[in-house]
Every structure is written in structure tokens, then in C-alpha cells.
Amino acid sequence: MRYSAGMTASDRWDLESIFAGGSASAGFRDFVAGLERDAAAAGERVRGLGDGTADAELRAVLLEVQAAEQRLAEAVSFAECLRAQDTADAAAGQWIGRLDAVAAQIKALGAALSACTAALPDERWRALTGGPELRPVAFLLNRERDLARRKMDAATEGLIEELATDGYHAWDRQYATLAGSLRAEVKVDGERRRLSMGQLATRMEEPARADRKAAFQALEGAWRPVADLAAGALNGQAGFRLTWYRHRGWDSVLDEPLYLNRMEARSLEAMWAAVAAAAPRLVPYLQAKARLIGTGALCWYDVQAPVGAGEGTLSFEAAAERILDCFDAHDPDLRAFCEHAFAGRWIEAADRAGKAAGGFCTTLPLRRETRIFMTHGGTFGGATTLAHELGHAYHAWLLRDRPYYATSYPMALAETASTFCEGLLISAALDQTADAGVRLRLLDRVLEEALTMLMNLRSRFLFEIDFYRRRAAGPLTAAELDELMVAAQRRAYCGALAADGWHPLFWASKLHFYFTDVPFYNFPYVAGYLLASGLAARAAEAGREFAADYRRLLADTGVMTCEDLARRHLGVDLGQPEFWQAAIDRPLSHVGEFAKLAGNS
């Protein structure tokens, strides 16, 4: 079906078609109960595996656990949608807690199963995974088997995982509780209001510098009295992680994040080398923006200051039309998918009370659908968020017919499709306007994102590398963490912010440092951003002919490493700096025009 200008795009999603009745759904209750029963039965089968287990039995158990993981993903996606659409839905929170227990059980099953396969002779394993049932998912199974061989014995690893619930992961939960409880007073529209840390961070995008500065000072002021508690959480989880790695015999703190992102150390080193070399090219942008807002040098709270002319209001329907048009120029198949998503009411974008903050795209693998959650406030920024999340949804759509284990891709590749689609919308907007003020605003969006990726996220990476090096010798104080953070920021930002314009407590206020399930939650964003930029450059050169290549690349993300994917589909070696340098060149090519427009404003 074709989406037409006369059709209204609904900004409310449909969850009833998944499980009718919301958090009180009888169908969902039965689905989860069945999943719990089957997970328990699978556990019995896994525990019964041994040296004498026939290949047919082992194959059946592998497929059974895959099916359980797929059903778990379906249930978790639905429960998360329920909680996001209504934060007061206590029953949705209970479902998520119940599913957390199932997830822990299935994770333990997977670990035990991988340990069992690791003990098999290689020849037998190759024969087992060479059959038609397992060949499509052999990539992931082989990776899990190889990882099991690099760990301790299954019993020890299982004990550590169990202890981690109330140890390692408890530091993450403690930090989340602490961060969620903090409030600070600032003046908003002439009235004193108590705001959360997230609300204060958002106010650093206000047009008035006094408002941004007040929000920043309030945020740091709220964190300073509890900095020792945050430092305790960060030191505690890092100590647990380092001890765990040491007993496994892992030499580098990057072993786990590189494994999770299917990326080689040489590729990461080449990427950061290219970023470090290019970062000074952003300094003229920072200087021009400082002049534009009337200050000698930017402070941390100035970086997201809006400049230029607003793009005007944009209804959800108008945003949908605009996205469809620019996607169509790239690939009619991408447009057709988005029409399908709009028609199926897969998107929750209404600006209403009671919703969770932020946005996400979640996959329902059994239904072969996705759901997108966001809040569209009637701005172009909301349209870019929608385009970004539709990129995620399209990525999942291209993998919908693959076996579940062949649909799993790492964070570095997950961010590629979404960033690429967001870039299509912004590039189209730049092509369609000659208004200097609007162009200045759009170029600021492009360069602010480049700044986030090439400077902000690099500062986080540099901080964590230095922190873990120091933490190996013992815990660090809050003051020492402040020093490490500012040193990393000065290095990543090429010293370009004001002398007093740094954010010493960023290590405390940024929740990403406290994630225990995803260590080093920084470089995958940069890799995905630069991969998307490299793809955009290819698309600009090849035109519509690139669309089919793009689809094939995304379809292989579940069964390849980053290096193999780039080698096969782009003909490049990610371990060399050339690809990364060319990808960086694309956004930074706008610095000159921004500086010129800023000088004329």
C-alpha cells in the first residue's frame, strides 16, 4: 500500500493486536506462564546433557533454548511498551520483574549449554552445526562456544553470575536509585521548581545562557554532596569486573566490550587514531559558536545551545510525509516499509502526560514486527528522532525471516542503520533550504552530533581507560575521579572549552558509566556513527544503485563481525585508518559553511 497525503498517520500505537488487555491481558499471562514452564523443562534437559548425549538430542536442546530466547524477547518487548506508555502502570513493572527472573534462568541455560558445546571435539561440533537446522545460526553458536572456552568452568561462572545479582549488578541498581532520587531547584519562567537530573540536563539546551548555566550549576550542586556514594558504586562494580576478568585470565578490560561488539582491537585503535587526528578540525566550529552566542569560549553548558532560526512547527503527519519523501529518494523499499509501519500503528509518539522519557525501538520477533516509542513535540527534532527509530525498525524488518540467533547484532551495528536514516532526513532538509538561519540551525545539528561522537564520547572512553588502569591498584576518591574526568575532557576537546567550562562530575552524572551489562558504553556509538557516515558517502556517490547493497549489508549484520561485514560489503579494512578518516570527513566538511554563516549572523 502507498501512504498518501490524504491519509492521517496516527501518533498512538497499537498494542492490543499483540496481547489484548494491556498489563491485565489473559493472553499475555498465559504466554509468560508457558514460557516459564518451557524454560524450566529446557533447564532439566540441559542439566541432563553429558559426554554420551547423542547429537540429535544436543541439536534439539540448542533449538529449544533458541526458541525460549525468542519468546522471552517477545514478552520483554511487550512489557517494556506497557511500562513506557504509562509509567504509573504498576502491573507492567511487575511483569518486567517476573521476566527478569526468566531471563536470568535462560541466560544460565545458555551459559551451561555453551560450556557443554565447548567440551565437544571440534570435528564433532563442525558436523553438528553443518546440518540444515543449525547452519543458519552457526555464527553465533561458534562465538558463544569460543567464549566459553575463554572462561572458567561452568560451575564457577554460574556461581559468579548468581552472586553478581546482589553484588556486581547491585552497584548499578544502587546508582540508579541514587540518581533517580536527586532533585535541585532552579528558576523556570520566573518560578522556583525542583527538577530531576534529566530535566536539568534538558535545560542545558535552553536559548538563554543564564538558564543553561543555572541548570548546570544546579546539577553539579546536586551531585557534589553524594559524589562519594557515586564513587563507591563506580569503584565497586569496577573492582568486581577486574577481579572476574583476572580469574578468567583476560588481560584487557576491553576484551568483553570488543567481544560484545564483534570488533577487533586493531579496528578500535584505527578508529580512535582517526578521531584523534580529526578532532582539531572541530575547534573552529566551537569558536564560531562561541562568537555566535556572545562568549569568548564555550562552557560545557553552552555546547547544546540552539543557534540559527527554528525550522518551524511540524505536526506528526507532516513529519511522517517528510520522512517518507526523503526515504523514497534513497530506496522505495524503505519508504514502503515505513508506510507499513504507519498503517499498522507501530509508533507511539503522542505528546501526553504519563509517558516515560526518551525513545526506543523494540522488536517483536514472533510477530515479525517492531514498536517505536517516542514523544513528538511538533519540532524538526522530533522528526529526526522518528527517522532514527524507523532506521532501527527497518533493520529488524530486513532480518525478520532469519532464525532468531541470526537476527542478533551488536550495538555498533545497531546504531548504523538508525544514524544513516536520520542523516537522510537532515541531508534532505539541507538540500531543500537556502534560508541562512535555518541552514545554520541544521548545520549546528550535524556538527553538534559530530562533536558528541568525536569529542564527548572519546572523553568518556579516555576516562574509563585511565580509570580502570588506576582502579587495578585500588579505589579512587571522588576528587581523583574529578581530575581524571577533566583531563580526559581537555584532551578530547583539544582544550577548546573555557578554562572553567569543564564538567568534573560528568563521571557521576552520566549513567552510562554504571551499566554492568554493557561495559564501555561509548565507542560502539562512535563506530556506528562513522559506519553510517561511510555508508552515506557511498550512497551519495552511487545513488539509488546503492540501496540494494545497503539492504544486503544490514541483512548480514546478524551473522558477521564488523570487520567481515565491512570487508564483504564495502571492500574496506577497518583495521586501517582510511575508512574512518573518510567517514569523519563527511560531517566535518560543514565546519567552513557554519563558521561563515555564523560570522554573517
Going by DSSP bridges, is the β-strand pair 360-364/191-196 parallel, antiparallel, or unpaired? unpaired
Predicted confidence band of residue 113 (pLDDT cuts 50, 70, 90)? very high
Length of the chain: 601
- Predicted pLDDT of residue 87: 87
Q: 412 burial class (0-12, 13-18, 19+ CB within 10 angstroms)?
A: buried
Structural domain includes residue 351: yes
C-alpha torsion sign, points 71, 524, 427, 564: negative
Collapse the DSSP code of 526 into the 3-class scheme (helix H, G, I; strand E, B; otherwise coil) and give the result. Answer: helix
DSSP conformation letters of 202-244: HGGG-SSHHHHHHHHHHHHHHHGGGHHHHHHHHHHHHHHHHHH
Structural domain includes residue 287: no
- Predicted pLDDT of residue 317: 95
Structural domain includes residue 412: yes
Question: With 70 as the cut, is the pLDDT of residue 464 above it?
Answer: yes
Calpha distance 154→2 (Å, rounded): 53
Query: Average pLDDT of 52-80?
Result: 96
Helices (H) and strands (E) in the chain — how many of each? 26, 5
Amino acid identity for residue 125 in this structure? W
- Predicted pLDDT of residue 8: 65
Give the CA distances from residue 337 to residues 208, 321, 341, 342, 365, in Å, rounded to whole numbers and listed in that order: 41, 14, 6, 9, 16
Query: Average pLDDT of 144-148?
Result: 95
The model's pTM is 0.93
Structural domain includes residue 53: yes
CA angle 246, 251, 256 (to 5 degrees): 85
Query: Average pLDDT of 34-43?
Result: 96
Q: Cβ–Cβ contacts within 10 Å for residue 371, how many?
A: 28
Most distant pair of Cα atoms in the chain: their distance: 78
Query: Average pLDDT of 567-573?
Result: 96
Structural domain includes residue 512: no
From 131, 165, 199, the end of a domain falls on 165
From 114, 138, 165, the end of a domain falls on 165
- Predicted pLDDT of residue 50: 85
Structural domain includes residue 283: no
Calpha distance 361→374 (Å, rounded): 9
CB 426 within 8 A of CB 446: yes
Cell numbers representing residue 207 in the block: 536559548
Question: With 90 as the cut, is the pLDDT of residue 240 above it?
Answer: yes
Calpha distance 303→289 (Å, rounded): 8
- Predicted pLDDT of residue 577: 95
- Predicted pLDDT of residue 2: 45
Query: Average pLDDT of 268-297?
Result: 97
Q: In which domain, by residue range, is 37 found?
A: 22-165
Question: With 50 as the cut, is the pLDDT of residue 581 above it?
Answer: yes
Backbone φ and ψ of 372, nearest 5°: -110, 130
Structural domain includes residue 280: no
Query: Average pLDDT of 446-456?
Result: 97
From 377, 400, 434, the end of a domain falls on 434
Give the CA distances from residue 472 to residues 175, 235, 466, in Å, rounded to whole numbers and listed in that order: 21, 10, 10
304 contact partners, CB below 8 Å, separation of at least 6:
204, 205, 448
Calpha distance 521→512 (Å, rounded): 6
Calpha distance 89→82 (Å, rounded): 7
Q: Cβ–Cβ contacts within 10 Å for residue 180, how many?
A: 12
Question: With 80 as the cut, is the pLDDT of residue 233 above it?
Answer: yes
CB 311 within 8 A of CB 379: yes
Give the CA distances from residue 14 to residues 355, 494, 506, in Å, rounded to whole numbers and listed in that order: 15, 48, 38
Q: Domain tally for the chain?
A: 2
The domain spanning residue 109 has which CATH number?
1.20.140.70
Calpha distance 285→595 (Å, rounded): 6
Q: Cβ–Cβ contacts within 10 Å for residue 199, how many?
A: 18
Reported as a single tens digit per residue, the pLDDT across 359-415 is 899 999 999 999 999 999 899 999 999 999 999 999 999 999 999 999 999 999 999
Collapse the DSSP code of 304 into the 3-class scheme (helix H, G, I; strand E, B; otherwise coil) and give the result. Answer: coil
Q: What is the mean pLDDT of the chain?
A: 94
Residue entry with cell 561485514: 565
The domain spanning residue 379 has which CATH number?
3.40.390
Calpha distance 391→238 (Å, rounded): 34
Structural domain includes residue 134: yes
